[in-house]
A = this chain, B = another copy of it.
Amino acid sequence: MPKPAATTKQRAVRGSRTGRPIMALLDLLGRRWTLRIVWELRDGPLTSRALRTACDDASPTVMQARLSELREAGLVELVSGDGYRLTPLGRELLESFLPLHRFAERWSRRS
């Protein structure tokens, strides 16, 4: 089938065509390890290797891919010497789904 203009492998966030930011965001966060990365950076910067370790030793390939996407999205930045950390915008995002932590507790106790 003809490759529609969707084009490059997975570049431009899926759903961004719709013009609805929430779709682009849900797509970005719906990729493997993305949510986890943001979560693991909640307490401060981590080097790329520390981050991989924290994320159950995810392969460097995806890790770098996700980090590039997150940097492009302005949610994460690379600070020389300290590794990766959330930008102010990224921190806003983290706080936006912080309630998830409490929910996860209730959820894990479901019958």
Interface residues of A (CB under 8 A from B): 14-15, 21-27, 29-36, 39, 56, 73-75, 89, 92-93, 95-97, 99-108, 110
Contact = CB atoms under 8 A, between A and B. Distances in A.
Nearest to A39: B26
Nearest 9 A-B pairs (CB), nearest first? A21-B108, A21-B104, A96-B99, A22-B104, A25-B104, A96-B103, A26-B35, A30-B35, A74-B110
A108 to B, nearest CB: 4
B97 A93 contact: no
Looking at chain A's contact residues, is the secondary structure mostly helix, strand, loop, or mixed? helix
Nearest to A20: B104
Given A14-B56, A25-B100, 12 more contacts: A15-B36, A24-B104, A25-B103, A26-B39, A29-B30, A30-B33, A74-B110, A89-B107, A92-B103, A92-B106, A93-B103, A96-B97
